[in-house]
Structure 1
Amino acid sequence: MECKGLAERQAPFVKIDMTSKCIPLERLNREVNLINPFINRISDLYTLRGLETVSRPHRLNFSALIYITEGQGVHYVEHQQHRLRTGSMLILGKNQIHAFAKQRAVDGYVLSFDCSFLSSGNTDPYFDLLLTAMGHINCVHHVDDDIGLLFNAMVNEFASTSEFKDEIIRNLIRSIILKAVVPSYQQQLQSIQRIGHNDYYRLKKYIDEHFQQRPTAGEIALALGKSIKQLDKLAKDHACLSVKELVDERVLVEAKRLLAFSQYSISDVANRLGFNEATNMTKFFKRHTDVSPKDFRQLCKMGLHQK
């Protein structure tokens, strides 16, 4: 059963502002979505929103899975080009920047959702694992055929009137991630420890919401009701980084996004990221990348989609 196209019903997305200096932001329209996730066809997005809009790099304020059912093509996530074919799946996290190709050569499903929807409760034993895997894997180049069956089942469920609709869709999304994304993450990491609570998710969420203030490990520990030692162990177990390194990593990611995809000056970028002076950001950026912000921006302009 095919899902209805966006042209046949109101779009679930707020219109993207393409005129400001900042990176265009796409968000879910909660008033339209009776349930949190939303599924649609890639071809419908091209038809409804137009080539210029879908192919311009834009930020998501939600997560998404893009599953290719036919064709071969490319998709851009951050600064990387991913080559897609039938059976490929892209995993896009909240705040990531992506763009469809300027010429549509593939079709498939785009599933949009807020990660909080995936949780089955406070004692969910897999929620941290789901979130961590999605945070580290952007593309699985070929998934098993049963993933396609799960997407088809989800399309049917979106059209159902069952009182259990939300729970069925939640479990279908979790199944797709556990079957296709988590194994890729485990293979990449070689080993992973699972914990029975959502502490790592809370840590990552806090950093994601406050990184512009450059919080110290002590400030984060106080806010989360943990000791610095506990948080550092949590960060080491899940990301092999300290809490400070997690903060620096998030700041660096945002700096790259703003330099590559926005029209803000380097001084504006530094100010938005909590640096007192642009020179301090330059030192920070060069320490982590070996290039200056100015040179990085120029490299992106020369070959943004060639990596």
Structure 2
Amino acid sequence: MFESSSSGIGSGRTGPRVHPKPGSSDAAVRIWRLAEFLEGAGAQAALGPKRLACDLLVIVSGGRAVPEVDCDSADLAAGDVLWVRAGQVLRWVSIDALEGEVVLFSPHLVAPGTGRVIGGSTGQVLWHCGDVTAAEIAVGVQLLWYLAADISLSRAARTTALAHTLCALLVTVTTGSAAAPPPAGSPSRRTYAAFLTELDARFESLHSVQDYAGLLGYSVKTLDRIVRLHSGRTAKALIDERIILEAKRLLVHSDLSISSIGRRLGHSEPGNFSRFFTRAVSVSPTEFRSGHRITDAA
């Protein structure tokens, strides 16, 4: 039901990365019934940790499950929507008669305008939908089904129609559901969003606030003030958190040595990386890895 690749996150053997599977319908957006998707993946493949190479949207209409995204778990039930982004590590801790739809799509399909509207939700993965929002989401999902099966459209036309429908669906989920942060278009908000974009692209090589302030054309003091305003944390704290997040992903999903992970994230000395990780997570990298791996018998 999906393709796997081990080529996406550097040297060392890794677990499967999920890609939209090419086929007779549009490969940029793929939609399945949830039960069929999980059945096609197989029990072990479905439960095992995967680092996604595409975005995955799960719209739940029945049953329960406990997904773990980047080592943080949540309860999933009817009326919930889970959005796991490309690059995140997903593991299903448990699945109990889960029903609904799964949409796999390429991140580039999210138009810049849509990205600005939903930019405040980039750290969020789970939404709880009320009755009205759930009905609107159901309409969007049905339209995705219809467009994916419409053989009268050219490939380009179908991709365009699917992309617009997908963007409308994402806006509905992120702005109309409980706990969704309100959109904001202020200049400082745009600067904060630009900082997060640069951080996500460059965290392996740039580790100081001064680096990002220079990229964005601000003083260190001004950038830190903007980041504090929108996150309640310092810019340096967000930089360190992003590095720790990547370390967690690599510890869980890859077989890279701890020293290799440290070097990849800017720590030439293994001891320095171990202290940095332990100070942030309260357990050593070795303990974290052993506590979040699943065995072949799982």
TM-score norm. by structure 1 comes to 0.77
2:119 paired residue among 128, 131, 140: 131
Query: How high is the sequence identity, in percent, across the aligned residues?
Result: 23
How far apart, in 1, do the equivalents of 2:294 and 2:20 lie? 32
In structure 2, the CA distance between the partners of 1:114 and 1:238, relative to structure 1 (3 Å rule), is farther
1:237 paired residue among 229, 240, 258: 229
Q: Partner residue of 2:138? A: 152
Q: Partner residue of 1:221? A: 213
**Superposed counterparts of 1:60-209, under 5 Å:** 60-100=52-92, 105-119=97-111, 121=113, 127-128=115-116, 130-135=118-123, 137-140=124-127, 142-158=128-144, 159-160=146-147, 165=161, 166-180=163-177, 183-186=178-181, 194-195=185-186, 198-209=190-201
Counterpart residue identity of residue 134, structure 2: G
Counterpart residue identity of residue 285, structure 1: F
Counterpart residue identity of residue 45, structure 2: T
How far apart, in 2, do the equivalents of 1:264 and 1:77 lie? 20
Contact 2:14/2:254, CA 8 A, preserved across alignment: yes
In structure 2, the CA distance between the partners of 1:295 and 1:156, relative to structure 1 (3 Å rule), is closer
CA positional deviation for 1:37: 4.0
Q: Secondary structure at the match of 2:289?
A: helix
How far apart, in 1, do the equivalents of 2:175 and 2:259 lie? 42
Aligned length: 279
Q: CA RMSD in A?
A: 3.2
Counterpart residue identity of residue 290, structure 2: Q
Contact 1:221/1:231, CA 8 A, preserved across alignment: yes
Q: Partner residue of 2:4? A: 15
Gaps of 5+ in 1: 1-10
In structure 2, the CA distance between the partners of 1:45 and 1:31, relative to structure 1 (3 Å rule), is closer
